[in-house]
Chain A
Amino acid sequence: MAETHEGATRRDFIHVASATMGAVGAACVAWPLIDQMNPAADTLALATTEFDVSGVEEGMAVTIVWRGKPVFVRHRTAKEIEEAGAVDIADLPDPQADGDRAPKPEMLVLVGVCTHLGCVPLGQKATDPRGEWGGWFCPCHGSHYDTSGRIRKGPAPTNLPVPPYEYISDTVIRIG
């Protein structure tokens, strides 16, 4: 089919228009096939967890499950709170004040997943190694976290994240 006009022909237009429609249609079909891998409705329904912190006594740590991940709830001792507050924030790899991480200083709530590659750090049990700063120690690749859950040494790039949570009564927190 020889071109009868300079530049684009009507046939070119039909080709481009059909290909465009085909691409739009394919994208519309592809989206449900991809989106099905996102969390389903029943998974999202389990996205909040409530926990009564009154049973966690001073010096004790409890691990609960939120969205399938461990959440550390640690009732810190006065010494631990003091250590966490005494740090010069500018020296930290991921600077953040202890006060911003624990609304109630004695009750620290953290997502217990190392920010390096996702292992669960040790330090919840009294017999666990807690690293050089007395917080948590990740045995996979040697990251040390302090008593505020902040990264101090090792390959992890950021602090243990604080999950979104609020006190829905004096002693019950709702995570998520």
Chain B
Amino acid sequence: MSGPNFSNPVVRWIDHRLPVFTFMHHEMHEYPTPKNLNYWWNFGSLAGIVLVIMLLTGIILAMHYTPHVDFAFQSVERIMRDVNHGWLIRYIHANGASFFFIVVYIHIFRGLYYGSYKAPRELLWMLGVVILLLMMATAFMGYVLPWGQMSFWGATVITNLFSAIPGVGEWIVTLLWGGFSVDNPTLNRFFSLHYLLPFVIVGVVVLHIVALHRFGSNNPLGIDVRGKQDSIPFHPYYTVKDAFGLGVFLTIFAAVVFFMPNAMGHPDNYIPANPLVTPAHIVPEWYFLPFYAILRAVPDKLLGVLAMFAAIGVLFILPWLDRSPVRSATFRPLFKIFFWIFAANCVLLTYLGGKPAEGTYVILSRLATVYYFFHFLILLPGLSIFETPKPLPRSISQPVLGSGTAGASKENS
């Protein structure tokens, strides 16, 4: 048993019987991490911290919120006006959802660029996609809770997606609603599930981290850590780097929460839900817009819904679509170009999802949707065959030190 040597006798006593301190030391302190990680690697831990912020503020909001169609809207207004610091806590929670998606989308694109989904990290990647799906479900149901116009009609439109399923569609929608329209039973179950799912996310995040720590982080070069000379302990090097990134993130986050808290919201949601009047222009929250654009691009109800779900589903099989053994885009000249075209296409889809479904926007949506799937289903498998990657460095140390073994005996502790 060569665990760390704790000086505190109480810690030693506990650790001998319940080795939590050894575990934490192993996974958060000495945990060997590639020494060349850049700032794009901050977004994993950042996502974890935002999840904690969302849990804390969410549990607090649940202390003041009333999940009933007659009281939900007023209870949210009471939080904004009467509850001590309630406005702050709600704005943190509402904007926190947006920032959670910003952080997670950057995290995903980092994985796409540096090939973090490739062997042996396929399950790590797939667990990440599961987290994304759970986040979407949670965010959607959370948006329904204030029971404003956008809450109500968002819930109506999204639950109606399931009516596209042949045969059992109507039955499923009635089951989701607990009635014949979105009403009090719907609000009640959405509240229950909105409280439950974040804890399910925590569980999957734990699995995500277990899978991560099996082989350690990928890195900007996309090559394996060859030995001690290629890695540094997580603490203090990456704890400090993550803490600095957190400081920058919180500065931006606080600026939005305090100075433009409704910038990413929709004013119609400050109108109480009215089941008899649909707002003129229904738009989901910005983080759903690319998928919404794909949904509307397909002129068939069932196929549109399928395309929308397939847009995320395709991520599950990504590790087997991109067969190139080279992970990092740094050494894949063609992939790098197409990565940025793909990213731009996603931005375009986001833009189109927020525009009315008419005229040029429809045509553009269709082109962008086709390109989205073209990238995954045709381009990536094709590149794996036809692209000639640049030569890889022999080790993480080599590009810096000239040789993978120079100075290898020098160890930091």
A complexed with B: yes
Chain A residues bordering chain B, tally (CB within 8 A): 10
Identify the interface centre among A33, A35, A36, A42: most chain B CB within 10 Å of its CB: A36
On whether the beta carbons of A36 and B82 are closer than 8 Å, the reply is no
Does A37 touch B at the CB level, under 8 Å? yes
A contact residues around B57 at 8 Å (CB): 33
Contact of A32 among B64, B81, B82, B89 (CB under 8 A): B89
Query: Contact between A42 and B89 (Cβ–Cβ < 8 Å)?
Result: no
Residue ID in chain A nearest B87 by CB atoms: A32
Interface residues of chain A: helix, strand, loop or mixed (majority): helix
Please report whether the interface of chain B is mostly helix, strand, loop or mixed according to DSSP.
Answer: helix
Closest chain B CB from A136 CB (angstroms): 34
Contact A40 B83 (CB under 8 A): yes
List B contacts of A33 (CB < 8 A): 56-57, 60, 85, 89
- Chain A residues with Cβ below 8 Å from B85 are 32-33, 35-36
Q: Does A41 contact B (CB under 8 A)?
A: yes
Q: B78 near A: Cβ within 8 Å?
A: yes
Q: Which residue of B lies closest to A15 (CB)?
A: B236
Q: How far, in angstroms, from A32 to B83 measured CA to CA in the complex?
A: 10
Q: Give the complex CA separation of A40 and B56 in angstroms.
A: 19
Q: In the bound complex, how far is the Cα of B89 from the Cα of A5, in angstroms?
A: 46
* Contact status A36-B78, CB under 8 Å: no
How far apart sit A43 and B89, CA to CA, in the bound complex (Å)? 19
Interface string of A6-50 (1 = CB under 8 A from B): 000000000000000000000000001101111011110000000
Contact A40 B84 (CB under 8 A): yes
Interface centre among B57, B63, B84, B85, by most chain A C-beta atoms within 10 angstroms, is B84
Q: Is the CB of B88 within 8 A of A32?
A: yes
B66 to chain A, nearest CB (A): 13
Q: Which of B57, B60, B83, B89 has the most CB of A within 10 A?
A: B83
| Contact partners of B81 in chain A: CB under 8 A | 41
> B60, A41: Cβ atoms under 8 Å?
no
- Measured between beta carbons, the chain B residues less than 8 angstroms from A40 are 64, 78, 82-84, 86
Per the bound structure, the CA–CA distance linking A74 and B86 in Å amounts to: 40
Give the distance in Å from the alpha carbon of A43 to the alpha carbon of B83 in the complex: 9
Are B84 and A42 touching (Cβ within 8 A)? no
CB distance from B250 to the nearest CB of A (A): 9
Q: Which residues of B contact A32 (CB under 8 A)?
A: 84-85, 88-89
User: Considering the chains assembled together, what is the distance between the CA atoms of A38 and B82 in angstroms?
Assistant: 11
Of residues 121 through 156 on chain A, the ones whose CB sits less than 8 Å from some CB of chain B are none
How near does chain B come to A120, taking the closest CB pair, in angstroms? 26
In the assembly, what is the distance between CA of A16 and CA of B78, in Å?
41
Smallest CB–CB gap between B248 and chain A, Å? 14
CB within 8 Å of A: which of B79-113?
A: 81-86, 88-89
- Closest Cβ of chain A to B244, distance in Å, is 11
- Interface 1/0s, chain B 327-366, versus A by CB < 8 A? 0000000000000000000000000000000000000000
- Complex CA–CA separation, A37 to B89 (angstroms): 12
Complex: chain B residue closest to A37, CB-CB: B63
User: Are B82 and A42 within 8 A (Cβ)?
Assistant: yes
Which residues on A sit within 8 Å (CB–CB) of B84? 32, 35-36, 38, 40-41
A159 to chain B, nearest CB (A): 33
Residues of chain A within 8 A of B63, CB atoms compared:
36-37
CA distance A5 to B83 in the complex (A): 53
| Distance, CA A17 to CA B295, complexed state (A) | 53
B56 — which chain A residues lie within 8 A by C-beta? 33
Contacts of B83 in A (CB 8 A): 36, 40-41
| CB-defined contacts of B86 to chain A, threshold 8 Å | 36, 40
Minimum CB–CB distance for B326 against chain A, Å: 38
Cα separation A32 to B254 with both chains bound (whole Å) = 15
Interface residues of B in 146-190 (CB under 8 A from A): none
Which chain A residues border B88 with CB–CB below 8 Å? 32
What is the distance, in angstroms, from A31's C-beta to the closest C-beta of chain B?
8
Q: What is the CB-to-nearest-CB distance from A26 to chain B, in angstroms, rounded to a whole number? A: 12
Q: Which residues in chain B, 25-63, are within 8 Å of chain A measured between CB atoms?
A: 56-57, 60, 63
CB nearest to A39 among chain B residues:
B84
The contact sample of 6 A-B pairs, CB cut-off 8 A, is A33-B85, A36-B63, A40-B64, A40-B86, A41-B81, A43-B82
| 15 additional A-B residue pairs with CB within 8 Å, beyond A33-B56, A36-B84, A42-B82 | A32-B85, A32-B89, A33-B57, A33-B85, A36-B60, A36-B63, A36-B64, A36-B86, A38-B84, A40-B84, A40-B86, A41-B82, A41-B83, A41-B84, A43-B82
Q: Interface on A for B, CB 8 Å cutoff?
A: 32-33, 35-38, 40-43
